Structure 1
Amino acid sequence: MKQALPRACNALAKNQLYHITTPIFYPNAKPHLGHLYSSLLCDASKRWHGLLDQKTLLTTGTDEHGLKIQTASEKNGYKTPMQFVDTLYRDFVKLDEMAQIDYTRFIRTTDDDHAKSVQDLWKRCWDRGYIYKGEHQGWYSISDECFYPDSKVVQIKEDGSELSLSDLDIDRDAKFINTETRNEVVYHSETNYFFKLSAFQDRLTSLLEVENPQFIYPPSRRDQIINELREFKLRDLSISRPCSRIKWGIDVPQDPTQKIYVWFDALCNYITSIGGLEAVISNTPVRLKHKGYTTLQNPRDWWGSTSHLIGKDISKFHTIYWPSFLMAAGLPLPKQIIIHGHWLSGGTKMSKSVGNVVDPIDIISHYGCDPVRWYILENSHIEADGDFREERLHATREQLVSKWGNLLNRCCGNKFNISRAVETFAVNSKNSEELSHNFQDQQTKTSYLNLVTLLGALPESFNKHMLKLDTRSALKLLWEIIGEANAFVQNTTPWLKSGKEQDLVIFTAVEVVRITAIISQPIIPALSGDLLDRIDVSRNKRSLSHALLGLDAAYGAEANKKGRSVPIKRIPPRIGMSSIIP
């Protein structure tokens, strides 16, 4: 019979859908640690909601149109941009596979159904009067695929100093950058189609301040966007480029001489991924493009459960442009925009010129998927930038071996009998106060009861942090209880005892291994499975409903048998930092 989830977790899980999206990544270079971080946060969150018995989706992919791709494909000698992106996107799929990102769909903006969704969105905005044709002059960044106002452009002098445009006569041959991303901009004019972004200033402000203050998370990021809306007037947005300049893109429906601007194109992937614009509007059941297709019963319901997780560098596009496009088209908004920080490398922003861009495929190949997943999720905070240090990654892996692995190995020693201990105490585990009398000294009783309390509180405490994507705090809970369990075993010396006292120590310690392994499945899916396999936990008893003391009374039959392999072994540290992308 299936057990109920822990109380707070059960209340959350009933009849809920959960859809989380990564940004779609621009494949003009190999994936770096920042790409992996976004994907890991989404994957861990999606897996956790799955443990809560919710129906879940995770969508990710690559943004494959635009001038950067067109230029890079020509530079690299490809006959067409399509051939170029067909090569590039595979690195992102490979990273997802190596990192065990359990996505529902990997979307490419060159997919046929995506082009249709983008043109459908355009038509709805056009029909409602939010798109018009006009002349555009301004400062354009090829890297960012967008224009910047004069107020956000500075000239870089030969000595590295900066001058604002108001301080000088414009020298159009000089080097200019925008102050947001620090990428180079050039001044030019052209005929484009424009989106009436200026019409949404008040609506966006009202959305964030009054109607849905939780729309942007965390609150500090929401406050930044609100301040920007207060400080700067929104200008209408150029959302197309002439084919004479950009050939690689989706045609403007009513004008094939223009290509749709990449952000209007790229942002629409989130709707394409759950069946497309028409399916969301009509709520028609569809099938996702996925390994072993998934039927979606109500696309609009899924859309209402959607959270976009993005890096802070693209927050403007997702929190200002995207809601405005949707409101203009008469479409509902997603549930939430979640904004996270970046990853540094050795305390410095990752840059090819600096030579410190970390190759996630390389580090996973050496350290293994799960230690890398644990390290990144433990050493990040959604509101701050992380800092990758390979020596810390190695230390984290060592700690998994010496703390968790050691606790497991102790319980599996041939002097003990896990199966007997489980059979003896699982049924009566709720009577912890009574069971504590098996111990002679008060210190051992106190330590035992403390462990029981920590185990009882763990599922709901872990859940509280995971719902906030606070993986760092969640993993601290696991280390705390694993540390307490190791100290408990060390201090009680079960190898010097026998009978029920010995069995109660082993039962308590191995329950820590079992429960923490169940709860850590969203973080380390392979290693947690190996830990549970090592103590013979049945595959149908690894749900969150079993993550409480004594809720599995039938495991460990072969756990103390000699010669069984350990789930994780030590590896030597690497010499140098060859994880850097060349």
Structure 2
Amino acid sequence: MSLGRLIAKGSKRPVFHITTPIFYPNAKPHLGHLYSSLLCDTTRRWYELLGYDTLFTTGTDEHGLKIQLASEKNKFSSPKDFVDVLYREFTKLDQQANIKYSRFIRTTDPDHIENVKKLWTLCWEKNFIYKGTHNGWYSVSDETFYPDSKIVQVTKDGHEISINNPNIDKLGKFINTETRNEVIFQSETNYFFKLSHFRDQLVKLIEQDDPNFIFPPSRARQILRELKGSPLTDLSVSRPSSRIKWGIDVPQDPTQKIYVWFDALCNYITSIGGIDAILSDSTAMVRHGSVTSIHQPAQWWQNTTHVIGKDIIKFHTIYWPSFLLAAGLPLPKQVVVHSHWLSGGVKMSKSLGNVVDPEEMIQYYGSDTMRWFLLENSQLDIDGDFNEKRLHATREQLVSKWGNLINRCCAKKFDLHRAVDTFAGKTTYAEIATELLNEQQRDLFVKLMEQSNDLVEVFHEKFTKFHTNGALKVAWNLLNDTNQFVQISEPWSKSESTQDFVIFTAIEVSRILSILCQPVIPELSNSFLNRIDISLNRRTIDYAKFGFDHEYGGDANKRGRDVPLKRIPYRISV
């Protein structure tokens, strides 16, 4: 019995909740924002295909000094007016890329502000927050302080020297070695969180209690090295209102604003009902698309996966678990860390002219081409490298290897409906192949049938480990073998029985792949399924086995049917 059928027979539907980081809307979204969202969207769609109740939350992080300064620079009357414009750029990109989220949260949402105050109060009441004076190196871009050990000076001639070097250049700028962003030294009164208290607990969590809490393992090892390499220092979790006006007031002290990361990280809990709901036994009705389900927010939280970029790993794997532990709240299930996207092998920058506009690419090549390209050409722990020629080649391959395979089998000379009627639902395919095909053709048929029947389990293993390029490599291999099978079997020159068996085999592989690739290319998969007249209620995982659908292909060989995907020329850059 398939994985999908086992899940469907359970007495209660399991749940899956996945989140992007909430994005900072101080500029238009870039390729990295799309990639985070796409990993979440594809994974959620996969679990939904398996029969899970799913949630996918994303949003924008709208407080902090960067937003305050950006709104002033752009001559907005208030930061709120500024983010009211910018957040729409993120929802627009999601719509263009066919990203289907359950909630788009904004940190200016009233329920979120209340939950941030609740989280602060819980940490305060448990004596994990105290008031003190802070001297340190602050990065406006990162909105965080860095210790002396992470600071170097970049001199006028581009050399880096230690801040303890007696030959320090007064005209040089100071940067932190983690993000390479500029820092300034400042002294101020803040509230502090006792981060130092949680070092041993975090080490034990990652090493013993839950080795999969941080994924992939290379990122878990990275955080362990940081935790063991030096003691955690307490974290400044507020900023003076005199310097940062745009933020949430500290509950017991309106002269201070809550640190933007303490604010932002709380969004994950706000999105599924809030802190009080998680701490209680209450249930909450959740609606996603046309499905309404009732689950406890605590159940959603225990099955939550955060997907983040590698640049914010410290905030999600050290700060966030510590805040939750201090407040007496449970931890999410997992934090998945992905790498970044380069362009031409280097970091994107306006000065280099290599910035990729994801909206522009989607508008020309189509959302599904872009989705497939990003998922095929990326790995969690290796930076992706965008190349528009390869994006165009991806569309060409989808047309030639998949679209044309279906078009060939739906040619007027064949009768797909007859083939399906003759061979669907059989239990003796190997014997039929021996009777109708030669040895080479039969062996390739058996390989195609077995791999098609294993595809649910193979895809599940790949998708649940965010190994999307591995899943799509399997898909290409299967399509290549299917095209080869048609070519060496030459159905156009064979008897009716052999012709029907070859066409049936090729379309069955295409049908199963189209069902299972719906999370990756939802529109194109359904176009392929439409082309062979698959009923809407037979596009589920229960039918993703060889010979399981015997009611399709009725009008597939009629003239005048639209092709699912057409070739387009390489885009000419202006």
Q: Same fold (TM over 0.5)?
A: yes
Please name the residue that 1:371 is paired with: 369
Instruction: Find 1:320's aligned residue among 318, 328, 331.
Output: 318
| C-alpha contact (below 8 Å) 1:13/1:54 kept by paired residues | no
Distance verdict in 2 for CA 1:358–1:494, change over 3 Å: same
| C-alpha contact (below 8 Å) 2:154/2:160 kept by paired residues | yes
- Residue 400 of structure 2 is aligned to residue 405 of structure 1: no
- SS in structure 2 opposite 1:41? helix
Please name the residue that 1:215 is paired with: 213
Moved more, 450-459 or 8-17: 8-17
Please name the residue that 1:495 is paired with: 492
| C-alpha contact (below 8 Å) 2:155/2:171 kept by paired residues | no
Instruction: Find 1:105's aligned residue among 80, 103, 106.
Output: 103
Distance verdict in 2 for CA 1:243–1:170, change over 3 Å: farther
- 1:546 aligned partner, one-letter code: Y
| C-alpha contact (below 8 Å) 2:2/2:456 kept by paired residues | no
Please name the residue that 1:265 is paired with: 263
- The alpha-carbon deviation at position 277 of structure 1 amounts to 1.0
| C-alpha contact (below 8 Å) 1:263/1:317 kept by paired residues | yes
Distance verdict in 2 for CA 1:178–1:289, change over 3 Å: farther
Please name the residue that 2:390 is paired with: 392
| C-alpha contact (below 8 Å) 2:156/2:172 kept by paired residues | no
| C-alpha contact (below 8 Å) 1:9/1:463 kept by paired residues | no
Please name the residue that 2:176 is paired with: 178
- 1:367 aligned partner, one-letter code: Y
Distance verdict in 2 for CA 1:288–1:147, change over 3 Å: farther
- SS in structure 1 opposite 2:29? coil
- Residue 23 of structure 2 is aligned to residue 25 of structure 1: yes
Structure 2: distance between partners of 1:292 and 1:190: 51
Instruction: Find 1:476's aligned residue among 457, 466, 473.
Output: 473
Structure 1: distance between partners of 2:416 and 2:159: 69
- The alpha-carbon deviation at position 459 of structure 1 amounts to 1.4
Please name the residue that 2:80 is paired with: 82
- Residue 464 of structure 2 is aligned to residue 467 of structure 1: yes
Instruction: Find 2:32's aligned residue among 34, 37, 52.
Output: 34
1:220-259 equivalence runs, <5 A: 220-259=218-257
Please name the residue that 1:349 is paired with: 347
- Residue 449 of structure 2 is aligned to residue 452 of structure 1: yes
Please name the residue that 2:512 is paired with: 515
- 1:150 aligned partner, one-letter code: D
User: Structure 1-normalised TM-score?
Assistant: 0.96
- The alpha-carbon deviation at position 111 of structure 1 amounts to 0.4
- SS in structure 2 opposite 1:504? helix
Structure 2: distance between partners of 1:399 and 1:355: 28
- SS in structure 1 opposite 2:54? strand
| C-alpha contact (below 8 Å) 1:137/1:188 kept by paired residues | yes
| C-alpha contact (below 8 Å) 1:6/1:460 kept by paired residues | no
Structure 1: distance between partners of 2:233 and 2:438: 74
- 1:252 aligned partner, one-letter code: V
1:533-548 equivalence runs, <5 A: 533-548=530-545
| C-alpha contact (below 8 Å) 1:46/1:56 kept by paired residues | yes
Distance verdict in 2 for CA 1:211–1:172, change over 3 Å: farther
Please name the residue that 2:438 is paired with: 441
- SS in structure 1 opposite 2:180? coil
- Residue 137 of structure 2 is aligned to residue 139 of structure 1: yes
**Ranges in structure 2 where 5+ consecutive residues have no aligned partner:** none
Structure 2: distance between partners of 1:288 and 1:106: 14
- 1:535 aligned partner, one-letter code: I
- 1:222 aligned partner, one-letter code: A
After superposition, the C-alpha distances for 1:310-338 in whole angstroms (9 at most, x for unaligned) are: 00000000000000000000000000011
- The alpha-carbon deviation at position 4 of structure 1 amounts to 5.8
Structure 2: distance between partners of 1:296 and 1:362: 39
User: Structure 2-normalised TM-score?
Assistant: 0.97
- The alpha-carbon deviation at position 439 of structure 1 amounts to 2.0
- The alpha-carbon deviation at position 499 of structure 1 amounts to 1.4
Structure 2: distance between partners of 1:561 and 1:371: 27
| C-alpha contact (below 8 Å) 2:4/2:51 kept by paired residues | no
| C-alpha contact (below 8 Å) 1:285/1:295 kept by paired residues | no
After superposition, the C-alpha distances for 1:69-114 in whole angstroms (9 at most, x for unaligned) are: 0001011110000000000000100010011111000000010000
| C-alpha contact (below 8 Å) 2:19/2:40 kept by paired residues | yes
Please name the residue that 2:336 is paired with: 338
- The alpha-carbon deviation at position 447 of structure 1 amounts to 1.8
- 2:513 aligned partner, one-letter code: T
| C-alpha contact (below 8 Å) 1:4/1:10 kept by paired residues | no
- 1:359 aligned partner, one-letter code: D
Structure 2: distance between partners of 1:287 and 1:425: 45
Structure 2: distance between partners of 1:396 and 1:33: 17
Structure 2: distance between partners of 1:148 and 1:11: 52
- 1:541 aligned partner, one-letter code: R
Distance verdict in 2 for CA 1:381–1:177, change over 3 Å: same
Instruction: Find 1:53's aligned residue among 29, 51, 54.
Output: 51
| C-alpha contact (below 8 Å) 1:307/1:337 kept by paired residues | yes
Please name the residue that 1:195 is paired with: 193
- The alpha-carbon deviation at position 425 of structure 1 amounts to 0.2
Distance verdict in 2 for CA 1:292–1:480, change over 3 Å: closer
After superposition, the C-alpha distances for 1:490-535 in whole angstroms (9 at most, x for unaligned) are: 1111111231111000100110111000010000000001100110
- The alpha-carbon deviation at position 452 of structure 1 amounts to 1.2
| C-alpha contact (below 8 Å) 2:154/2:172 kept by paired residues | yes
Moved more, 314-323 or 489-498: 489-498
Structure 1: distance between partners of 2:290 and 2:491: 49
After superposition, the C-alpha distances for 1:418-449 in whole angstroms (9 at most, x for unaligned) are: 11100100021x31221113324222212221
| C-alpha contact (below 8 Å) 1:9/1:460 kept by paired residues | no
Moved more, 163-172 or 400-409: 163-172
- SS in structure 1 opposite 2:164? helix
| C-alpha contact (below 8 Å) 1:286/1:297 kept by paired residues | yes
Structure 1: distance between partners of 2:499 and 2:509: 16
Distance verdict in 2 for CA 1:52–1:14, change over 3 Å: farther
- 2:109 aligned partner, one-letter code: D
Distance verdict in 2 for CA 1:261–1:293, change over 3 Å: farther
Please name the residue that 1:68 is paired with: 66
Please name the residue that 1:380 is paired with: 378
| C-alpha contact (below 8 Å) 2:155/2:169 kept by paired residues | no
Aligned residue pairs total 574
Structure 2: distance between partners of 1:260 and 1:98: 34
Please name the residue that 1:306 is paired with: 304
- The alpha-carbon deviation at position 230 of structure 1 amounts to 0.6
Structure 1: distance between partners of 2:320 and 2:518: 33
Distance verdict in 2 for CA 1:249–1:533, change over 3 Å: same
- 2:186 aligned partner, one-letter code: H
Structure 2: distance between partners of 1:440 and 1:422: 18
Distance verdict in 2 for CA 1:396–1:13, change over 3 Å: farther
- 2:478 aligned partner, one-letter code: I
- SS in structure 2 opposite 1:182? coil
Please name the residue that 1:504 is paired with: 501
Moved more, 496-505 or 399-408: 496-505
Please name the residue that 1:278 is paired with: 276
- SS in structure 1 opposite 2:205? helix
| C-alpha contact (below 8 Å) 1:307/1:338 kept by paired residues | yes
- SS in structure 2 opposite 1:571? coil
Instruction: Find 2:121's aligned residue among 119, 123, 130.
Output: 123
Please name the residue that 2:556 is paired with: 559
